[in-house]
Amino acid sequence: MKNNQEITKKVRVQVLFQSGVKKPTRISKMTHIPLRSCERYVSNLKKGISLDRKPGSGGRNKLPPSKVKRLQSNLKNKKNQSKLIKQQSKHPFLKLQLEGF
């Protein structure tokens, strides 16, 4: 059997709901899960909606080629950036402009 900490919040709420505890305030006090989360979980359980995570869209975030080049050049010049950041912390009137961040 898993420890209480290893069991997810959703599973704890679901078990209590199935055992007859239907009030979100009671579940919240028993499990120390935020009240709003318990309200949302109980609402979904009453509607018959599963508490499992919904799958994402599957699409990846893509950067245009110009931003990829800019990002690569910024990553290569980490030493220069750290010097500029130190200078900016010493002299706040200097403006550090990191493109793309």
Q: Is the pLDDT of residue 3 over 60?
A: no
Assess contact for 46 and 52: CB atoms under 8 A.
no
**Dihedral angle of Cα 47, 52, 55, 61, to the nearest 10 degrees:** 110
pLDDT in tens, 73-92: 776 666 666 666 665 566 55
Is this model's pTM higher than 0.75 or not? no
Assess contact for 16 and 27: CB atoms under 8 A.
yes
Domain limits, the chain = 9-47, 65-101
pLDDT in tens, 19-65: 999 999 999 999 999 999 999 999 999 999 988 888 888 777 677 77
pLDDT at res. 96: 46
